[in-house]
C-alpha cells in the first residue's frame, strides 16, 4: 500500500469536512484568499521560480487519481495512484525543466487561466497555520488548433504563517472532477 497518503501529518480533508470556516472578515481568511489569488497570477504568468519560493521545503503536493465507484463505496480516490505526489525536489525539477530549451510540452507555452473561487478557511489549532479549501478551474489553451483543456477540481491547502510575509504553502491536496483526464498531459501546476 502506498504510504504517501499517510505522511501528510494533517488530514486536510477531515479539517475541511468537519471544521467551521472562519468568517470572511477574519484576517487569516483574507490573507489566505489573497495568497491563492497571487499564486494563480504567478502560475498564469509563468513565473515559476517565484512560485517555487512560496512553497515550504517540506511541501507535500498530491493529486490522487479519481475513479468512478458505486455510490455506496467509502471513497472514489484510487488509493494507490496519483497524478502528482511531489515533494520540493520533484517540484523544483519540474520548474527547472520548464526553463530548459527542450520542454516541448510547454514550448510554445500554453495560455493558462486559473479561476480560484469558493474559498473557505479553517483554523488548525497551530498558531498562524490555516487549511484553505478552494475550487479551481484551470483553462489551458495550446497552439492555434483549438486545442484546449479544462481541468476542474477542489484544492485543500495547508498555509503556514498565513498573515505574515513569510506565508508558505506546506500541503496541497487536489481532488479532480474527472476520472479520465481530457488533456494530453499535466505539464501544468494546480
Partner 1 sequence: MSIAFGDELVQKVRDGWIPAHIYNDTEIFDAERTRIFGRSWQFLAHASEIPQPGDYVVRRVLDDSFVVARGEDGVIRVLFNMCLHRGMQICRAEMGNASHFRCPYHGWTYKNDGRLVGVPFHAEAYGGDRGLLRDEHQLLPAPAMEIFNGLVFVSLNPDVEPLRDYLGGAADYLSFYTAPTSEGIEVWGPQRWRAGWNWKIAAENFCGDSYHTPHTHASMLEIGLTPQIKGGQRKTGGTYNAGRGFGATFGLGEGDLETKLSGIGYPERAVANRKRYWPESIKSLVADSGHLPSSMTLFPNLSFLHLWVTVDDEGTAVPMTTMRLWQPVSESETEVFSWFAVDADASPEFKDASHRAYLMTFGSSGMFEQDDMENWLSLTRTAKGSMARRLVLNSRMGLLHNNDSLRQPLEGFSGPGTVIQGFSEHNQRGWLNLWLDCMSADEPATATTTRSDV
Which of positions 154-173 make contact with partner 1 (CB under 8 A)? none
Q: How many CB atoms lie within 10 A of CB 140?
A: 20
**Which listed residue (18, 25, 68, 117) binds partner 1 by CB under 8 A?**
68
**Which listed residue (85, 137, 150, 175) binds partner 1 by CB under 8 A?**
85
**Which listed residue (27, 89, 113, 152) binds partner 1 by CB under 8 A?**
89
Q: How far apart are CA 41 and CA 114, in angstroms?
A: 8
Task: Give whichever of 14 and 69 is closer to partner 1, judged by the CB atom.
Answer: 69
- Asked if 119 and 132 touch (Cβ cutoff 8 Å), the reply is yes
The separation between the first and the last C-alpha atoms of the chain, rounded to the nearest angstrom, is: 25
Stretch that binds partner 1, among 27-35, 61-69, 131-139, 162-170 (CB under 8 A): 61-69
> Dihedral of CA 188/80/60/172: which sign?
positive
Stretch that binds partner 1, among 47-55, 77-85, 115-123, 167-175 (CB under 8 A): 77-85
Strands annotated E in 32-76: 55-66
Which of positions 100-119 make contact with partner 1 (CB under 8 A)? 100, 102-106
Amino acid at each position: 500500500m502506498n504510504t504517501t497518503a499517510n505522511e501528510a501529518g494533517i488530514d486536510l480533508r477531515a479539517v475541511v469536512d468537519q471544521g467551521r470556516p472562519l468568517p470572511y472578515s477574519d484576517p487569516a481568511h483574507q490573507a489566505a484568499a489573497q495568497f491563492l489569488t497571487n499564486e494563480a497570477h504567478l502560475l498564469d504568468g509563468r513565473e515559476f521560480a517565484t512560485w517555487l519560493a512560496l512553497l515550504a521545503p517540506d511541501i507535500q503536493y498530491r493529486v490522487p487519481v479519481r475513479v468512478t465507484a458505486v455510490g455506496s463505496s467509502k471513497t472514489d480516490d484510487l488509493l494507490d495512484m496519483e497524478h502528482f505526489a511531489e515533494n520540493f525536489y520533484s517540484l523544483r525539477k519540474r520548474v527547472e525543466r520548464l526553463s530548459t530549451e527542450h520542454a516541448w510540452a510547454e514550448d510554445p507555452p500554453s495560455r493558462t487561466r486559473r479561476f480560484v473561487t469558493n474559498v473557505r478557511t479553517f483554523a488548525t489549532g497551530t498558531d498562524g497555520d490555516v487549511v484553505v479549501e478552494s475550487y479551481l478551474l484551470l483553462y489551458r489553451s495550446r497552439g492555434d488548433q483549438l486545442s484546449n483543456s479544462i481541468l476542474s477540481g477542489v484544492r485543500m491547502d495547508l498555509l503556514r504563517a498565513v498573515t505574515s510575509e513569510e506565508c508558505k504553502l506546506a500541503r496541497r491536496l487536489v481532488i479532480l472532477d474527472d476520472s479520465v483526464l481530457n488533456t494530453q498531459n499535466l505539464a501544468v501546476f494546480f
